[in-house]
Amino acid sequence: MFDVIIAGCGPTGAMLAAELRLHDVRVLVLEKETEPVSFVRIVGLHIRSIELMAMRGLLERMLERGRRRPAAGFFAAINKPAPAGLDSAHAYLLGIPQPVIVHLLEEHAIELGAQVRRGCAVVDLEQDDEGVTVELADGERLRSRYLVGCDGGRSAVRKRLGVGFPGEPSRTETLMGELEVGVPQEEIAAKVAEIAQTDRRFSLRPFGERVYQVIVPAAGVSDRAVPPTLEDFRHRLRTIAGTDFGVHSPRWLSRFGDATRLAERYRVGRVLLAGDAAHIHPPIGGQGLNLGVQDACNLGWKLAAQIRGWAPDTLLDTYQAERHPVAEDVLDNTRAQMELLSTEPGPQAVRRLLTELMDFDEVNRYLIEKITAIGIRYDFGAGPDLLGRRLPDIDVKQGHLYGLLHRGRGLLLDRTERLTVGGWSDRVDYLADPTAALDVPCVLLRPDGHVAWIGDDQQDLDDQLSRWFGKPADGTVRER
Ligand SMILES: Cc1cc2nc3c(=O)[nH]c(=O)nc-3n(C[C@H](O)[C@H](O)[C@H](O)COP(=O)(O)OP(=O)(O)OC[C@H]3O[C@@H](n4cnc5c(N)ncnc54)[C@H](O)[C@@H]3O)c2cc1C
């Protein structure tokens, strides 16, 4: 019997497995594919995800395999420089292919003790008061206390739960692949520049010697389970560019749509959903993987608390309360961005207007903070603006703040040096007189780096420690 079974070892499942292992939860990840997928889908990690990698000690490995690029030009691919002074020690885009991210996250989860079984497709589930029975395609049945569906947009877990997935179906489809070309680079660059004037869904980018990543609009919407052929690519390139650039020898070929959907619920009893299993949207702005990894960091410590037995009653439900609105917002911003890609005169006029508005620093900053997820503020009730936001990776006496969050515990930063985490010290670390960079007396951080409390009063603090971290281990509650 495992504590948690995770269906799917994509970026969300792998990150969640590692988060749970930080708290010694027995985790099994079941992955349908026998080999890791090699499709290079993503542009990269945005600021908040980079920060999360720093918080878990993973950033060095990611930086070795990726490339830093400016944190700009994401919103509807409108080309504006990043606003000055973004509030992050990691204010860049980390260009890194999705298969590399998944490999590094899976490696990290396994190092921490997670078990990953490949070639195991979850096909059914049943839950009762004690746990969940998971059935695999070969008929094997496994038991765990909780199950998390991180099994992508066509999630079997979500379907078996009967959770609704309302939204819009795909209206357009795009072919994407890595192929060798048969014409000189200059010829391709000139043609791509010409077409980019009118069609923003078309691109050929060099991806190594003679190999190009080709993105070209498909003729219509087809069955996404059926991979496109080399001839499909040639045909569409000839239709749109007047030449097929002599493409041949594909490394891989794929297609994606622009369906936009959000799960009605993220939790049904002992089964939860995260990542693409809970939300899908067009890839514009490069947010899907980032959103899933951030779901995992929000859910991991809460589910671990539930399993370890110290979670306050409502803690696990704050996962949906906090993350559903974030996904709703991402879906909406991708809808808006897709409209701005249209070549119709109306959307083009709105695009020109927005391009002008982005010259105002505040507009540019608002959009970048939205796409990179550093603007997120969870609703923890009334309080200063910092409450519910993530604390940036500020310098503290011991080095960088995020270096103190590797173990996924809470943290009290106490400038007054008068407060104590008392009976919660098995879950929450304490740092006295941490830094002058903090302009408030004390801050309580959750394991995901969000500010749970600001103040200087011990009784207030105890209330908030109870709210987020349950009863103190020694059972003592200070006299009022
Ligand atoms: C062209 C394109 C470009 C993109 N660019 C970006 C980008 O730049 N930035 C960004 O953040 N996002 C981007 N995305 C989105 C990103 O790829 C997804 O949001 C991300 O992969 C979601 O991760 P996930 O782990 O939730 O799901 P997935 O990556 O889909 O992983 C799900 C895993 O579950 C497995 N699985 C499925 N069914 C089962 C089952 N029944 N049992 C067991 N295992 C199962 C699958 O094999 C897979 O390994 C892009 C997407 C596309 C299509």
Residue by residue, DSSP assigns 430-441 as EEES--TT--SS
Nearest by Cα to 470 from 240, 284, 311: 311
CA-nearest residue, atom 51 of ligand 1: 283
Kindly give the distance from the C-alpha atom of residue 67 to the centroid of ligand 1, in angstroms, as a whole number: 21
| Residue 38 to residue 19: CA distance in whole angstroms | 24
**Six token digits for residue 428:** 């929450």
The pTM for the full model equals: 0.95
pLDDT at 229: 94
CA 271/CA 269 separation, integer angstroms: 6
C-alpha closest to that of 405 among 448, 463, 437, 443: 448
DSSP β-bridge partners for residue 29 = 6, 116
Which amino acid is located at 283 in the chain?
A: P
Length of the chain counted residue by residue: 480
**Averaged in consecutive runs of 10 residues, what is the pLDDT profile of the chain (480 residues)?**
96 98 98 85 88 98 95 90 92 94 97 98 98 98 98 97 97 92 91 84 84 91 84 95 94 91 98 98 94 98 97 96 98 96 91 96 96 97 96 92 96 95 96 83 97 97 97 69
Question: What pLDDT score was predicted for residue 275?
Answer: 98
The residues lining ligand 1, judged by C-beta closer than 6 Å to any ligand atom, are 7-13, 30-33, 41-43, 98, 121-122, 150-152, 156, 176, 256, 275-276, 283, 286-290, 292
Q: Which of 289, 337, 372, when mutated, tests ligand 1's pocket best, judged by the most ligand atoms within 8 Å of its CB?
A: 289
The structure tokens listed for 103 are 């490999």
DSSP string, 9-62: -SHHHHHHHHHHHTTT--EEEEES-SS---------B-HHHHHHHHHTT-HHHH
410 C-alpha vs ligand 1 centroid, how far in Å? 30
Q: pLDDT at position 41, please?
A: 67
pLDDT at 143: 98
Chain Cα centroid distance, residue 25? 22
Q: Are 29 and 14 within 8 A, CB to CB? A: yes
- Asked if 295 and 278 touch (Cβ cutoff 8 Å), the reply is yes
Instruction: Please name the helix (run of DSSP H) or strand (run of DSSP E) that holds residue 104, with its range, or none.
Output: helix 98-111
Q: Are the beta carbons of 205 and 186 closer than 8 angstroms?
A: no
- Among residues 276, 288, 279, the alpha carbon closest in space to that of 260 is found at 279
The answer to whether 253 touches 233, Cβ cutoff 8 Å, is yes
Q: Find where tokens 């908030």 sit.
A: 464
**Residue 152 CA to ligand 1 centre (angstroms):** 5
pLDDT at res. 438: 87
Q: Are the C-beta atoms of residues 148 and 299 closer than 8 Å to each other? A: yes
Helix 288-308 and helix 98-111, axial crossing angle in degrees, nearest 10: 10
The residue assigned the tokens 């079984």 is 117
Report residue 418 as tokens: 């008068």
**Packing angle between helix 345-357 and helix 318-341, nearest 10 degrees?**
110
3-state helix, strand, coil in the chain (%, to 5): 35, 25, 45
Single-letter amino acid, residue 421: V
pLDDT at residue number 480: 47
Query: Of 249, 321, 280, 92, which is closest to residue 168 (Cα–Cα)?
Result: 280
Q: Is 386 left (phi over 0), alpha (psi -120 to 50) or beta?
A: alpha
- The residue whose CA has the least distance to atom 29 of ligand 1 is 10
